Amino acid sequence: MNKLLLAFLLAIAGNAALAQVPVTAARDHAALLASADPKLAANKRLVYDFWREVFEGGHLELADKYLTESYIQHNPNVPTGRAAFVEFFGRFAKPRAIAQTVGAPLVAITAERDLVVLSFVSERQDPKDPSKSYTTTAFDMFRIEGGKIAEHWDAQPRMP
């Protein structure tokens, strides 16, 4: 038997040995926010605080502190523009106490030039066995302009 074919068959048979390493959240958010570059640190903090105060905290009255008026949204379910963002999330977001840290399971904050990426643990139901779940990573990317969030990307599919 061909060695390559044998290796392939062993890989298929030993699929359980190739089990996923679960995605885990970082515990130290202060370390994630740190940067030797003060501009990158400020951009990280801006996005982090937006996520805590506006997105998780539901304080849409703070949107003008964080979003440009012409904020561009690439999520196909959310309209573009700061006013449209506020109107859309105002339908279901209710203000609550603002936590000191992001509540979602944050894995990393990456900043480069005018871009900041938040990555999160995302737990999903296993389509092969609905009684089981697995973890993967979700990403949100933001572009900063003039000290505010000007643009957002994520990997959300269009909702029906």
Say which residue, 16 or 133, is predicted with more confidence: 133
Domain residue extents for the chain:
22-154
Per-residue pLDDT of 110-157, as tens digits, reads: 999 999 999 999 999 888 899 999 998 999 999 999 999 999 999 888
Per-residue pLDDT of 36-58, as tens digits, reads: 999 999 999 999 999 999 999 99
pTM of the model: 0.85
Measured between alpha carbons, how far is 113 from 69 in angstroms, rounded to an integer?
21
Per-residue pLDDT of 53-95, as tens digits, reads: 999 999 999 999 999 999 999 999 999 999 999 999 999 999 9
H-helix or E-strand containing 139? strand 133-145
CB atoms within 10 A of CB 75: 16
Do 66 and 150 form a contact (C-beta atoms < 8 A)? Answer: no
Measured between alpha carbons, how far is 141 from 152 in angstroms, rounded to an integer?
6
pLDDT given at position 128: 87
CATH class of 22-154: alpha beta
pLDDT above 60 (res 18): no
In the structure, what pLDDT confidence band is assigned to residue 31 with cuts at 50, 70 and 90? very high
